[in-house]
């Protein structure tokens, strides 16, 4: 049965699964970032290498599976522009980390589903839904509990930078959802990555901050973040947006900090707490609620 013949409910279920898998992969980014810091891999080199490797792996995968294709000129320009936007909000996020604690950064950044919801209702004519609003409240409440925050170490510059990152991500999600009304999701995700990689390459080269990774450890981190933290989740997220509404996908994305915290416990030896259990339960509750919302069952069909 072709993708076009799949019932809407099946497309939504697949889209939800893709969105959750994407969030799980993106949840590894902070872990890779922490490891990169420990082994002396500079942020500019890490991010540039991340997107170059991610773009290469994604296009290689599409070519091997016979799914590589080119977008038309208008779609290609939009995808490249969204790729530059992706680079900008990624840069804002890591810049903000220099001013405020990681926990507060996560709390501010994961307000982005609220902006996605507002933009989707305004620009994409998505419907208002009490269930969707409830899911947002549950998921964001869970994120707030998980990531915590230090009220005595608030820097308005850092908060502003991370808010810009969150708004940038919201614009990226809504723009991608709109573009996928006509664009092929595989080619679109690959072209977005090319735009992001090009932006970081130009910035890194122009600023003189770019260097080749050195040693096995640094190359393993680059390959890991390029594949697990970039190519795979970006492909899954764009494919999810082709099947579910942007506001649905943004709520599913709140599972990302839960994955990050769990990996921090397992990989980095961080201590779990009852806040993790309570916050994780709220995030999962929000995901389950949004999955049962039928107001967007025809999304992407």
**Residues of the chain scoring pLDDT < 50:** 1-3, 150, 153, 296-301
Q: Let me know how long the chain is.
A: 301
Task: With H, G, I as helix, E, B as strand and everything else as coil, classify residue 148.
Answer: coil
What is residue 56's predicted lDDT score, i.e. its pLDDT? 92
What is residue 51's predicted lDDT score, i.e. its pLDDT? 92
Q: DSSP readout, 278-293?
A: HHHHHHHHHHHHHHT-
Q: Please tell me the number of Cα atoms within 13 Å of 20 on its side-chain side.
A: 13
Question: For residue range 128-140, what is the model confidence (pLDDT) as tens digits?
Answer: 677 777 777 777 7
Q: DSSP readout, 34-56?
A: HHHHHTT--HHHHHHHHHHHHHH
What is residue 265's predicted lDDT score, i.e. its pLDDT? 74
What is residue 301's predicted lDDT score, i.e. its pLDDT? 28
d(CA 41, CA 23): 24
Question: For residue range 10-38, what is the model confidence (pLDDT) as tens digits?
Answer: 777 888 888 889 888 988 887 888 888 88
What is residue 153's predicted lDDT score, i.e. its pLDDT? 47
d(CA 55, CA 200): 12
Nearest C-alpha neighbor of 142 from the set 2, 300, 280: 280
pTM: 0.73
């Amino acid at each position: 049965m072709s993708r076009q013949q799949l019932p809407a409910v099946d497309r939504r279920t697949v889209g939800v699964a893709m969105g959750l898998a994407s969030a799980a992969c993106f949840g590894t980014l902070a872990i890779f970032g922490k490891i990169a810091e420990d082994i002396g891999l500079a942020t500019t080199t890490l991010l540039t290498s991340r997107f170059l490797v991610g773009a290469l792996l994604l296009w290689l995968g599409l070519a091997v599976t016979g799914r590589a294709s080119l977008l038309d000129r208008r779609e290609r320009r939009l995808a490249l522009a969204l790729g530059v936007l992706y680079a900008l909000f990624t840069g804002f996020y890591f810049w903000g980390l220099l001013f405020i604690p990681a926990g507060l950064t996560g709390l501010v950044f994961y307000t982005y589903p609220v902006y996605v919801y507002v933009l989707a209702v305004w620009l994409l004519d998505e419907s208002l839904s009490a269930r969707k609003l409830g899911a947002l409240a549950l998921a964001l409440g869970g994120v707030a509990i998980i990531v915590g925050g230090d009220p005595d170490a608030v820097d308005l510059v850092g908060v502003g930078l991370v808010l810009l990152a969150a708004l940038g991500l919201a614009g990226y999600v809504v723009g991608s959802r709109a573009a996928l009304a006509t664009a092929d999701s595989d080619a679109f995700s690959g072209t977005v990555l090319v735009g992001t990689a090009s932006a970081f390459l130009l910035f890194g080269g122009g600023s003189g901050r770019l260097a080749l990774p050195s040693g096995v450890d640094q190359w393993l981190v680059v390959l890991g973040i390029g594949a697990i933290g970039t190519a795979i989740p970006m492909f899954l997220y764009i494919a999810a947006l082709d099947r579910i509404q942007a506001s649905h996908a943004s709520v599913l994305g709140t599972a990302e900090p839960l994955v990050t915290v769990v990996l921090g416990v397992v990989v980095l030896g961080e201590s779990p707490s009852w806040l993790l259990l309570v916050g994780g339960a709220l995030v999962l509750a929000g995901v389950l609620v949004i999955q049962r919302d039928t107001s967007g069952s025809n999304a992407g069909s």
